[in-house]
Each structure stands twice: as structure tokens, then as C-alpha cells.
Amino acid sequence: MDEKFDCIIVGAGVAGLAAAMTLARNNMKFLLIEKGEFAGSKNVSGGVLWGSDLAKLVPEYWEEKDGGWERFINHRRLTFLDDQSSFSIDFKSSHFNETPYTGVVVLRSKFDRWLADKVENAIAESDYAMDSFIATNIKVDEVLMEDGKAVGIRTGEEEFHANSVIIAEGVNNLLTRQVGLQDDYVPADHVLTGIKEVIRYDQEQLEDRFQLNGLSGMSNEYIGYATDGVEGGGFLYTNRDTISIGLVLGLKDLREKRKSPHDILNHFKDHPAVRDTIRGGEVVEYSAHVVSSGDKRIMPKELYKDGVLICGEAANLLMNAGKAIQGMDYAMRSGILAAETIVDAKEKDDFTSNTLKNYRKALDESYVMKDMNGFQDAVHMLHSPEMFKDVPNLVCDFGRKFFSIKNEPTKKSRKMLAESVKEHSSYWDLIKLGLKGAKSL
């Protein structure tokens, strides 16, 4: 294959596939390279795909009976845990039953493969039906550079040439480091280790347990006891006949507190409230993956270079600002924007930074960087010890007092709250936290 592609995309995750779809629709000649044996085979997420960009890629995806997604979210829950109690903020609304859904749960091995099929269809309908490809089972060893400009990739002895390269390799971004956009060694400060089990149930049992109707689903985040004192939080998402349950744990904090993620996962699952939520069922998969924290300090120095664009989690585009863990939506949008930049570059016949810098501009103007920029304070606050220790303990302690009924004079709830505050924190600390919170959200 001597022919030159308009673009080579590395990685068939959400970002790479979104880029590929956009390129195919714009009649570009491209090669999408994936190291796994099929798209999604190496990918792990929590995971909810938020937002409605999916409908842009696959219009009316919800019409498909056995689509690549599991369930749409119409039930959100945030749970504070101490060692014995759980106190939840719970919101469920049929408002969220409307299409396009604003969040769908996915299992990546299934979802990415399904999305790759849709990309294949788009390729078949494009002008380059015979010249654009998704190639699996290929590990990219190197991005080829010529006079500081990316001109293709090398895999083993083979080289593939292109006017541009989109790096969508995920959080372990070795190629991003190789092209010099990120330091060779990235410290653990702003990454977390995600760890997960997929647990299977009889589908009817699952639907009864979680009050699911048709393909509706629930997302539940947990803070407090879940992480055994380590920075981070827990999650539980309902799939069709399984649940995804897991934790994200600050890696630096794990190292300093000398704890094992798999031990903490059992600690979480053994919490009395969690135990009741997940009882029965059979664990069918155990997985783990590094996750970015959302702290901008870990982002690559720049997201473009002559001939190269970085998108998705390779650019550390992932954030938890307290409302949801977002990442796949950022990946999708950044992949679309990267591909649109390539389409523009081809029109101008200029694949240098001159044109490619517009990717950064488009991303900055999109909700992705606006959120990344706007919620940095929230990210810092969520990773502070008060949030994964004092606050959940306080909330649960207050809950225990508030909901206990004894045959004795009942205290006013303000007094109960004062007692809980005194025991687990202080008014001053809470005021500081409240001010920070008000500012950050």
C-alpha cells in the first residue's frame, strides 16, 4: 500500500471512531488502526456516555432494537457512605425518557464494536469505499516525523503514509509522548486507577431490583466509605442484564496510603447497603484502567503539532466535577472536531499547525474545554480529603440522628446537624467548603 492517506487515526475507541465517522462522511481517505482484535476489545470505561453527540454520529440509534448501548439513564443517584449507613440524593424523571437520550450506559467491548460497524457502513457509502479502512490487530510503534511534521506511522517493519495523524490512543498516551506533546514520564499526581466488576443477573431480577422499565437505567455514584479513605469514589451503572460496579482511586494517594485497589473493591462491595444492592448475581468480568482526574495540569502541552492532532483521553479529556464522570462525550466531540479540522486542512491543502491550530480553537469554544476550564475548582475540591471523608461521615451521621425515632423528646434537626458537624468537621471548615463549592459549581 504505497498510497498516501488523508489521515491515519490511531485507536478505535470513542474518539477515534467519532473521527473516522466524520472523515468517512466527508469523503476522506483514511486508515483507522486498532491494536485490539476488534474495536473495543482493549477498552474499559465505567461507563456512561453522556450528552447527545451519539445521535449526531448514528442518527436515531435508539430505534435499533439491539444497539450497542445498554440502557438510557433516567435515574440518577449520589450516595454518601459511612461504615454503616448510606444517604442518597436520588432523582428520577420520565423527562429523561425522551430521545435523544442525554446519557446511555455502555460496555465498551460491545459498544465500540457496534460503532465501528456503523463507521464501516459510512466508509462503504463514501467516495473512498475501497480505499479507507479500519485495520485491527496492529500496534503502532511510531509516528513518522519528517522535518518536524507527522507523515505517517510505523508498525514493525511496515510504514503507512498520510498527510495527517490523529492520535486517539487513550490515557496511556505513549505516542503523544513520543511526538513531544507530553513529557516521557507523567507522574501519578493527577491520575486515578479505575477498577470494575461486571456482575450478571437474571434480567427480570435486575429490572425489579432497580425499578427499571424497558431500557431505562440508573447511574449511582458513591463517596465516603467506598474508597476506604483513599481519594476517589465509587460507581454503579445498570446494563441490560448486568451491572458495572467499581471505583476510581487516586493513584498517588493509593501509593501513599499503601492500599490495593482490589482490596478496596471488596471493602466497597461489603458495605451493608451496597451488599444489599448487589446481592445474588455472578461476577463475569474484572477489569481495571487508568483514568485522568480532570486536572488540567495533566493535559498535554498542546493538542496539535504539524500533521498531528491529539483527542479523547490521550489529551486527558476526562472530568468529574461532582455531577457526573464525563469522558466518552468529550472523546466523541474532540474526535469530531479533530476530523473536521482535517477536512478543512485538505481543502486548504495545508496540514501544518497553521490549519491544525484551529482544532484547539474549536475545542476551546466547545463545551469540552469550557467545562474543563470552568470546573477546575470543582475538580480540586472533589479530590480534597474533606469530600471523601468528613462530608460523607457528617451526612450519614446526621441521617442516622434525623431518621432515628426513640421514645424520648426529639431534638430539633438543627441541633442534630450541629452535633454531626461538631463530631465530623467544624462550621468553619464547612463554610470554607460551602464557599468553595458555591464558587466551583
Partner 1 sequence: MKLLKLTERLGLVSYRNQAKSEIKPHIVVDTDICNSTCPHKCTTYVCPANCYTMDEEGTVHFQVEDCIECGTCMYACDQGAVDWNYPDPEIGRGVTWNFG
Residues that bind partner 1 (CB under 8 A): 35-37, 40-45, 107-110, 112, 137-139, 156, 171-172, 174, 185-188, 191, 193-195, 197-199, 242, 244, 251, 254-255, 258-262, 266, 269-270, 275, 278-281, 283-290
Looking at the Cβ atoms of 15 and 28, the one nearer to partner 1 is 15
Min dist CB 173 to partner 1, Å, is 10
What letter represents residue 309's amino acid?
L
Instruction: Choose between 137 and 426: whose C-beta lies nearer to partner 1.
Output: 137
With respect to partner 1, which residue has the nearer C-beta, 36 or 327? 36
- Nearest distance from C-beta of residue 247 to partner 1, angstroms: 10
Q: State the Cα–Cα distance between residues 7 and 299, nearest whole angstrom.
A: 23
Which three three-digit cell numbers place residue 244? Answer: 458495572
Q: Which is nearer to partner 1, 199 or 303 (CB)?
A: 199
**Separation CA 377–CA 152 (nearest Å):** 39
Q: 9-19 burial by CB neighbour count: b if 16+ within 10 A, else e?
A: bbbbbbbbbbb
SS3 57: helix
Question: Smallest distance from the beta carbon of 178 to partner 1, in angstroms?
Answer: 11
Give Cβ neighbours of residue 279 (< 8 Å, ≥ 6 apart): none
Smaller CB separation from partner 1, 8 or 28: 8
Nearer to partner 1, 331 or 369 (CB): 331
Q: How far is CA 232 from CA 118, 165, 178, 248, 411, in A?
A: 35, 34, 30, 5, 34
**Cell numbers found for residue 98:** 425522551
Question: What gap in Å lies between CA 151 and CA 164, rounded to an integer?
Answer: 6
Least gap, CB of 226 to partner 1 (angstroms): 15
Helix (H, G, I), strand (E, B) or coil at 263: helix
Cα 137 from Cα 126, distance rounded (Å) = 24
| Cell numbers standing for residue 190 | 493527577
Q: Which is nearer to partner 1, 91 or 286 (CB)?
A: 286
Q: What is residue 299's DSSP assignment? A: S
State in angstroms the smallest separation of the CB of 106 from partner 1.
Answer: 9
Q: How far is the CB of 312 from partner 1 (least distance, A)?
A: 15
3-state secondary structure of 127: coil
Structural contact between residues 247 and 388, judged by C-beta atoms closer than 8 angstroms: no
Q: How far is the CB of 401 from partner 1 (least distance, A)?
A: 31
First to last CA, the chain: 52
SS3 397: helix
To the nearest whole angstrom, how small is the minimum distance from the Cβ of residue 395 to partner 1? Answer: 26
Smallest Cα–Cα separation from 298: which of 321, 322, 317, 311?
317
In whole angstroms, what is the distance from residue 29 CA to residue 23 CA? 8
**Of 23 and 33, CB closest to partner 1:** 33
Q: Pick between residue 320 and residue 353 the one whose CB is nearest to partner 1.
A: 320
State in angstroms the smallest separation of the CB of 56 from partner 1.
Answer: 23
